[in-house]
Amino acid sequence: MARMKFLCDADRCIECNACVTACKNAHDVPWGINRRRVVTINDGKPGERSVSMACMHCTDAPCAAVCPVDCFYTTADAVVLHSKDLCIGCGYCFYACPFGAPQYPRVGNFGTRGKMDKCTFCAGGPEADSTEIEYAKYGANRLNEGKLPLCAEMCSTKSLLAGDGEIIASIYRERVTQRGYGSGAWGWQTAYRETVEV
């Protein structure tokens, strides 16, 4: 069975935010909430890199480990989802996630911020029946239609990859090999370096 994963190639990301816009449009995500965001390091300086961030659908998800009502679960495709029917909005998952993926849909005092919202890898929710109710809670269920997440499909430079983890790893491995360097493959070095994209 495939293990669905995201990977962002920092050498290709141009900070266009097409992935963020595609996600918001596909799922009618409320204003002020971003299931996906682009983070830029060393903005405007040599060595600047941008990375598209969202829920990384961890193998041992810390959000699931701290949830007091066990509303997080992992699908057969290794996508980490949560049930908004079970969620109590306590925010433990928000603090446990190293990527800041779970978010409150509203601002306000405890109890008025609503149930947590996060990236679903375009896999809908627990019902996975592509109904209007599922769409209203979780957004589009593209995996059920045999499609990949819209954020990755809309990435013009193909820096954001989504799909079977083994295929994603082989694509990235080939890119790094063609670039001819290894230690800076993730783009985190700070020294300026000329690269030629193949």
In a domain, 192, yes or no: no
List the CATH number of the domain containing 40. Answer: 3.30.70.20
Is 70 exceeded by the pLDDT of residue 189? no
Output the pLDDT for position 44: 87
In a domain, 198, yes or no: no
In a domain, 134, yes or no: yes
DSSP for 154-165 reads T-TT--EEEEEH
Tell me, what DSSP letter sits at residue 96? H
* Full 3-state SS string of 126-148: CCCCCCHHHHHHHCCECHHHCCC
Segments forming the whole domain that contains residue 55: 4-179
In a domain, 100, yes or no: yes
Output the pLDDT for position 193: 47
In a domain, 194, yes or no: no
- How does pLDDT run across 74-84, given as a tens digit for each residue? 999 999 999 99
Lowest model confidence (mean pLDDT) among 40-49, 133-142, 147-156, 177-186: 177-186
- The tally of domains found in the chain comes to 1
In a domain, 186, yes or no: no
- The answer to whether 89 and 46 have CB atoms below 8 angstroms apart is no
In a domain, 157, yes or no: yes
CA distance 36 to 17: 9
Q: What is the model's pTM?
A: 0.82
- The answer to whether 87 and 62 have CB atoms below 8 angstroms apart is no
pLDDT band at 46 (very low <50, low <70, confident <90, very high): confident
Output the pLDDT for position 1: 63
DSSP for 167-180 reads HHHHHHHHHHHHHT
Bridge partners of 160?
A: 8
Specify the higher pLDDT residue, 188 or 31: 31
- The answer to whether 57 and 78 have CB atoms below 8 angstroms apart is yes
Question: Residue 194: helix, strand or coil by DSSP?
Answer: coil
What proportion of the chain, given as a percentage, has pLDDT over 70?
Answer: 89
